[in-house]
Chain A
């Protein structure tokens, strides 16, 4: 440690002194000490040399690096070319909701109706346990009394039965429609519908799924 007790006070101040971070009064005191103390003058010179070395050393290291593409690379990382998948999905859904609400609801409704028809049909093919794989046949289809609906029954080649309910308001047959043959005009319309296990798209007016009754062996 410094022999001169005054040095002990001044040594910690030399670093802020060379940085120009001491008050004017302190500066005067430090400089007065420096003029009388060779060791502290040497210390201050060392600090300045070191500071210069640090700058030169780091500059030399930085000069070795090519920064030509640096900014470009950073920009590529911050420019959102493609938002993340979830974000895109969310955006397109909200757009759909905002601008194509009607279309979305009608397609959802179609899908729902399709499910209502398709699921019982698919289930119908699976013979319930204990029924020995035999087909169940629909014996009767009824609607609730006040409904103005008429059923249309179609049979496919493999024996599946498709039952449609057709709104009757054009004809207004009265409170209790009866089976099959009465739904003449509507049947014509449906003849084009593809047969088979796939359920054809039902008319939008369909309101209720009939409860298949019977199911005896």
Chain B
């Protein structure tokens, strides 16, 4: 996420896994959300067509990881 979203002011170690992805200190917007959706699809082969689940998954790194794990196992 740090690389793909070009978060120059942060390193992965500085990001708390429960920290808000949107609405917090990263200053991300819907265009960044789109990039995350795309990266999840490209890197994990998980399509995110249902935006309701995307919204829930985008709360934090942990919720996003849990979403990806659940989809990979399901």
Tell me, yes or no, whether A binds B: no
